């Protein structure tokens, strides 16, 4: 299960890098001979996902547990209004903490995946720059992607579960394209690319033509 996830995310990272900046109109072929490359590339964002899960659990779980405890005590003492207010405030804090962590995690995973380097996931200047420039955009795109992928999965399940086999690859490629587009928007807003150009000579020529 874990190895399969590493392979998938490694391939997604390669597709996103290839599609970023409009360098390629096609998706790179998935080749069995490069499984080890996909695993290594997928390992970096996977590790950062595990690392970010710890503060996320603390920042989201802490307020949730405290809110539930206080609300139960207030309800037992027949202070319904106070219990409701505590629930609303505590729930809002937990949701805000979840969104905050998710955006930072997304930036860290993108940097390590596209940069193909574990340490890029800890590049706080890059991450802070991404969050500042792309926080709201990433949140909106993430919501839309989750909605679409959920609907596609439901359609696949309705097709006697066989449709899931067709939906899953499409969802992965859609996620890769979204990753590439978010990176491109970030760069267009003055952000630093997460990876070096694969074709520096071509970029120089294009820059000279545009100049």
The number of C-alpha atoms within 13 Å of 151 and in the hemisphere containing its C-beta is 6
In a domain, 95, yes or no: yes
In a domain, 206, yes or no: no
Mean pLDDT, consecutive 10-residue stretches, the chain (211 aa), reads 84 89 74 88 91 87 85 81 84 86 92 91 94 93 87 71 66 88 92 71 38 38
CB 97, CB 59: distance < 8 Å: yes
In a domain, 210, yes or no: no
Per-residue DSSP letter, 160: T
| pLDDT confidence of residue 197 | 58
Residue 116 to residue 43: CA distance in whole angstroms: 9
In a domain, 209, yes or no: no
**Number of domains forming the structure of the chain:** 1
In a domain, 27, yes or no: yes
In a domain, 69, yes or no: yes
Angle of helix 2-19 relative to helix 35-76, nearest 10 degrees, comes to 110
In a domain, 208, yes or no: no
Residue 53's domain comprises 2-199
Sequence-distant (6+) residues with CB within 8 A of 191 are: 126, 129, 130, 133, 134
CB 6, CB 43: distance < 8 Å: yes
Here the tokens at position 29 are: 């072929």
In a domain, 124, yes or no: yes
């Amino acid at each position: 299960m874990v190895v399969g996830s590493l392979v998938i995310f490694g391939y997604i990272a390669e597709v996103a890098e290839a599609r970023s900046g409009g360098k390629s109109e096609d998706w790179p072929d998935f080749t069995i001979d490069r499984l080890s490359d996909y695993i290594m590339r997928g390992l970096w964002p996977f590790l950062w996902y595990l690392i970010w899960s710890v503060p996320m659990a603390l920042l989201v779980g802490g307020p949730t547990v405290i809110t539930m405890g206080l609300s139960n005590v207030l309800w037992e003492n027949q202070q319904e209004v106070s219990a409701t207010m505590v629930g609303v405030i505590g729930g809002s804090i937990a949701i805000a903490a979840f969104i905050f962590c998710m955006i930072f995690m997304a930036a860290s995973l993108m940097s390590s995946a596209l940069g193909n380097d574990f340490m890029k996931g800890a590049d706080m200047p890059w991450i802070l720059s991404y969050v500042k420039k792309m926080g709201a955009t990433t949140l909106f795109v993430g919501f839309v992607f989750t909605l679409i992928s959920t609907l596609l999965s439901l359609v696949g399940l309705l097709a006697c579960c066989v449709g899931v086999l067709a939906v899953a690859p499409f969802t992965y490629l859609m996620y890769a394209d979204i990753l590439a587009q978010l990176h491109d928007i970030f760069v267009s807003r003055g952000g630093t690319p997460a990876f070096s150009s694969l074709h520096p000579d071509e970029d120089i020529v294009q820059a000279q033509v545009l100049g």
